Amino acid sequence: MSDKTKKELLIEVRNLNKKVKKLESESNKSISREFNLLFETGKLLSSTLDIRTIYQMMYQTLSKIMDCDELFISSFDPKDNLIKYEFLMDKRGKENIDVSSIPPIPLAPEGYGIQSQAIRSRQSIIMNDYQQHFKKVITSYSIKNDGQLYSSTGTEDFFKPNSAMIIPMKLENRVLGVIQIFSGRKKAYTQKHMKFAESLIHLVALAYNNALLYRDAKKEIRVRQAAEEKLKQTVKEKEMLVKEVHHRVKNNLQVISSLLKLQSSYLHDPEAAEYLTVSRNRVKAMSLIHEKLYKTTDSGKINFEQYVTQLADHLYNVYGVSKDRIKINLSINDIYLDIDTAIPCGLLINELVSNAFKHAFPDGRDGKINIELCNINGDYFLSVEDDGIGIPDGLDVYNTPSLGMQLIIMLSEQLEGEFTAGNETGFKFTIKFSPF
């Protein structure tokens, strides 16, 4: 080999090395650019929960690296095996194209349907001869120059893609949808383009899943809020209905009380008149409870201390007893009772205080009556005690023909309570019961 030939060969090798280094430099720059682009896009994707914004970011990023004349995005429902178009954008910037008119597509059998193949295989597909495939398509969708979406048969004047990439949007073991990227150029896509698109779509899948979770959470919140509002309205209506019932019961009881009072005015037998007065007091005791329930904001429970105070004032008035002569002391702190508990408790207090007024303090004697209701470890303790003369020796309060005492025993049984009654400083009644 001559020196000249060697020299020429050496020059060619040097030029070849320069070209290799240049290609390596350009490749490194391209890789660095793509990496930075993915990094920046990833940051932007993580900052939004709006699905349309996520799709727009993907389109903009893809357009910086490869042809993206049209972008179709579909979601996949594995329960019903349906593919549904979600988003369509083209190079003219049309981004509000309505795809709702496109019906969902059933997942095609093995070997049919580009999107179905991508979903089944979970692999990306590059088609640089797309028109050959397009001729086999019975119905497709594309965008005319006016930016509107039309159904086409492949023979009309629509955008005709020559290259396509179909990439499944995957997250872990799930296929969330399919991304279709189209170009009017032939052989527009390479394996390098596919790798970049797959990396980007993985980021999109993460953002898309977060957006779906956010959307579903908002929907669930709206559903719950609507249910809560409906429930509140129903509860309000029920409360109004219950209040109306209490109001009517109170009115009916007042009518009964007035009839008893009217009837007693025609009686000349003091004992018979007394029976009517006692009955009227019992009716009044129940009427006061319904009145309190009608007026309270909590239609289920009443402030029992306020109720007993009103009941005591009524009994003072009926029996003409001075508060200075017989003092009633209440020890009922912040206790609220429902109607099933309040009525028997109220009737018990009515009977015991009425008996004390009539029998415990004869000949104008002064005295006091202590009424206490407390809650100890979930059990209620009600006691009514006076410092009067007590009951006669030898009287068995548990076996007495007295209607009042029989009523006290019956009410105690209604409360499913345990009671004791007898003389101490005067007469004392105590019952222990649990709330219903």
At residue 121, the pLDDT reads 92
Q: What fold is seen in the domain 229-433? A: Heat Shock Protein 90 (3.30.565)
Binned at pLDDT 50, 70 and 90, residue 129 comes out as confident
Residue 135 has pLDDT above 70, yes or no: no
Percent of the chain having pLDDT more than 90?
Answer: 33
**Given a cut of 60, is residue 26 above it in pLDDT?**
no
The pLDDT value recorded for residue 138 is 44
Domain boundaries, the chain: 31-218, 229-433
- Per-residue burial over 372-393, b if 16 or more Cβ lie within 10 Å, else e, is ebeeeeeebebbbbbbbbbbee
Superfamily of domain 31-218 in the CATH hierarchy: GAF domain (3.30.450.40)
The yes-or-no verdict on residue 76 having pLDDT over 70 is yes
Most confidently predicted of 7-11, 60-64, 278-282: 60-64
Give the phi and the psi of residue 218 in degrees, each rounded to 5.
-65, -40
* SS3 state at 324: coil
pLDDT tens per residue across span 29-59: 556 788 888 888 888 988 898 988 999 999 9
The mean predicted confidence, pLDDT, of the chain is 82
The predicted pLDDT at position 224 comes to 93
* Residues 357-396 pLDDT 10s: 988 999 889 999 999 999 988 899 999 999 999 888 877 7
CA nearest 428: which of 368, 358, 363, 379?
A: 368
Tell me the average pLDDT across 24-31: 57
Other Cβ atoms closer than 10 A to 233: 10
Q: Which tokens go with 331?
A: 């020890």
Q: How high is the pLDDT of residue 302?
A: 83
Give the range among 18-27, 277-286, 322-331, 408-417 with minimum mean pLDDT: 18-27
pLDDT tier, 1 (very low <50, low <70, confident <90, very high otherwise): low
Q: Tens digits of per-residue pLDDT, 232-266?
A: 888 777 777 766 776 677 677 677 777 777 777 76
pLDDT, position 386: 94
**Predicted TM-score of the model (pTM):** 0.52
Q: Express each pLDDT in 184-198 by its tens digit.
A: 899 999 999 999 999
d(CA 178, CA 167): 6
Sorting pLDDT into bands at 50, 70 and 90, what band is 340? confident
51-65 and 191-264 helices, crossing angle to 10°: 170
Residue 100 has pLDDT above 70, yes or no: yes
